[in-house]
Chains A and B, each alone.
Chain A
Amino acid sequence: MANAEGTVQRRSENNEIKTNRKKMKKGVCSYQSSWADLPQELLDMISNDMNIADYLRFGRVCRSWRTFISEHKHKFMSSQSPLVIYMSTRYDENSCYFFDIITGMRYKTNLPKDNWDFKSCLGVSSGYLIMYFMKRVHRLEGHFCLINPVTGHQLQFPSTPFPLYIINYYISNICRAIFASIGSQDQDYLIVILSRKLDYLQFFISRDNRWRNHSYYVKNNNRVLDIAVFDGRLFVLTEDSQIGMFNLRSCNLRFLELKFAPRFDWYRSRLVASDDQLLIVYNFEVYRIDFSKMEWVKVNNLGEKALFIGYGDKCCKLINPTVWGGRSNCIYILDDEKICEVYSLNGGFLGILPLMGKEFCPGTCSWYFISQSNSIDNIKDD
């Protein structure tokens, strides 16, 4: 390397060493280096100013950029503000859209081309859209298609033996659809459908290749309100505030002996498994199950976190909004009025975030947390 030898007027040995050390640390040589060889710290700074679509495309340009993206993707995705996923009102359009509530950026991703006349999104679970495809003439003929809109991974499941009465996007008898992996091999998948109208909790495990069901009514004729995967188990919440663990192998429901269970109006309470906690959300009240003391605990402060509740309670999560400048210790609720409302934990109205202002099918609108698009909830196999 051309150096400043001989031209240095007064420079001690000491200076020389220090300068060299800096040079080595940075390891940058401006000669002959190509854009592909930009140092990581620069790629990091550049990518921080990008949106998700540009970021993903950035990783396709060349090997070194691809390596960079694969190493830093998780950090980047975790810093992104939540997206609202929605489908177009045009039923012939094979796309779904994402709207960033903070930047206002809209993204689109293609859904598989199909010959089905009608499709409905029953929920978002483990980063997958749980879609149900049907023929217009034969309402009973249909199948489930699980699609990860980020990776494009797809899985097919046959329709339930008991028909799903999905008249249109607005009217659906499904109150919860869950997708998870089962067992330690991560090769068997499971969907669980809780249907209000059919009085069944239905589930399908890929290796069994058949639907099984459990009555929607449990102990003393109480109904199951909601289901959630937590700590490798499938939990249920009933209308008499009982929490149970459902064993998929034996099709058996075991209730937990929990102290201080409050009484709820059955319709609105939801089970939320997020951030290593099992929460029960009832309007603006949040409860947590303390498994060490086996009791219900009222949560009065979410700390840095905020609770995100989707339209129709689809895809509820507890996340840290401070990474993208959001508000902590509050509840973000997606409304069907094209807005996101923000409330405090005591129900105080804090504000509104406008959504896309586009026509969309309300039943298909949900939160989508892109940082979790690659982590599938797992249920233990015992």
Chain B
Amino acid sequence: MSKLGQAKRIIFLKTADGQLFEVDEPVAMEFEIVKSFFDENEDAADDTVVPLPNVSAEPLAGIIEFCKAHVEFRANGAAGKDEVKKFNAEYIKEKSNEQLKELILAANYLNIKEMLDFLTETIANRLKNKSVEYVRAFFGIENDFTPQEEEAVRKEYEWAFEGVDED
């Protein structure tokens, strides 16, 4: 354990594709799965490598970037301020749907509540007021209904609510 006090503790994380990440302790502790790993293994050595067999390097790097920024925001008392919103908006702007999916699956596995809330809200926004066909194309989802099911779905939703844009 970090008995030396001053020295910043580093947590080692190993991704499914074999990459080793060195992460500052406060950032790594944002990951509930890492936190509980150390809670359950109090005698774990400082250089223990935490395996993350469900996460690959690319999304992990993105998640570390996000969590690092948010840990800093909290330390500076900026949580909930415009600065955070600006960072989040910039962060997500550059992400493709594929990257977004990898991020959300990884964040879910690592169990990072703040990031998950942000990502799920982002996805809900991307689905807002979009047609079914648009959503399928946008997220690369195949229409896997049989013609009979398709007909049943169509009938069921023929009347469905439409959102009305403010005019």
Contacts and interface: CB of A to CB of B under 8 A. Distances in A.
Contacts of B127: 46, 50, 54, 57-58
B25 interface: no
Interface stretch (A17-25, A136-144, A310-318, A321-329): A17-25
A9 B48 contact: yes
Interface stretch (A60-68, A184-192, A297-305): A60-68
B79 interface: no
B106 A15 contact: no
Nearest to A56: B160
A2 interface: yes
A284 interface: no
Contact of B105 (A33, A54, A61): A33
A50 B141 contact: no
Interface in A1-52: 1-4, 7-12, 14-16, 18-19, 22-23, 26, 28-31, 33-36, 38-39, 41-42, 45-52
Contacts of B128: 50-51, 54
Nearest to B162: A108
Contacts of B108: 26, 28, 39, 41-42
Contact of B17 (A2, A47, A58): A2
Interface in A84-115: 97-98, 105-110
B161 A8 contact: no
B136 interface: yes
Interface stretch (A147-155, A163-171, A268-276): A147-155
Nearest to A45: B120
Nearest to A14: B41
Given A4-B49, A30-B55, A62-B141, A108 B161 contact: yes
A53 interface: yes
Given A2-B17, A62-B136, A23 B53 contact: yes
B124 A62 contact: no
Contacts of B158: 152
A98 B54 contact: no
Contacts of A11: 48-49, 51
Given A18-B40, A30-B102, A47 B124 contact: yes
Given A49-B124, A50-B124, A7 B162 contact: no
A97 B163 CA distance: 10
Contacts of B104: 38, 42
Contacts of A7: 14, 18, 20, 49
B142 interface: yes
Contacts of A97: 164
A31 B59 CA distance: 12
B161 A3 contact: no
A35 B59 CA distance: 16
A36 B138 CA distance: 12
Contacts of A16: 51
A106 B140 CA distance: 29
Contact of B33 (A9, A22, A49, A51): A22
Main secondary structure of the interface of B (DSSP, over half): mixed
B98 to A, nearest CB: 9
Contacts of B50: 19
Contacts of B33: 22
Interface string B96-129: 0100011011101100000011001101110111
B94 interface: no
B49 A54 contact: no
A202 to B, nearest CB: 28
Contacts of B130: 54, 57
A46 B120 contact: yes
A57 B132 contact: yes
Nearest to B12: A9
B156 interface: yes
Contacts of B123: 46
B166 to A, nearest CB: 8
A9 B51 CA distance: 11
A63 B144 contact: yes
A113 to B, nearest CB: 12
B101 A1 contact: no
A26 B135 CA distance: 26
Given A62-B136, A109-B162, A30 B124 contact: no
Given A30-B56, A53-B160, 7 more contacts: A8-B51, A18-B41, A19-B37, A23-B54, A36-B144, A41-B108, A58-B127
Interface of B: 12, 14, 16-18, 20, 33, 36-37, 40-41, 44-45, 47-51, 53-56, 59, 97, 101-102, 104-106, 108-109, 116-117, 120-121, 123-125, 127-132, 135-136, 139-145, 149, 153, 155-164, 166
Sort A-B residue pairs by CB-CB distance and give the 5 closest, nearest first: A152-B159, A49-B124, A4-B51, A45-B120, A35-B139
14 contacts: A2-B16, A4-B14, A4-B53, A8-B51, A14-B41, A28-B54, A30-B102, A30-B106, A31-B16, A35-B140, A38-B104, A50-B124, A53-B129, A109-B160
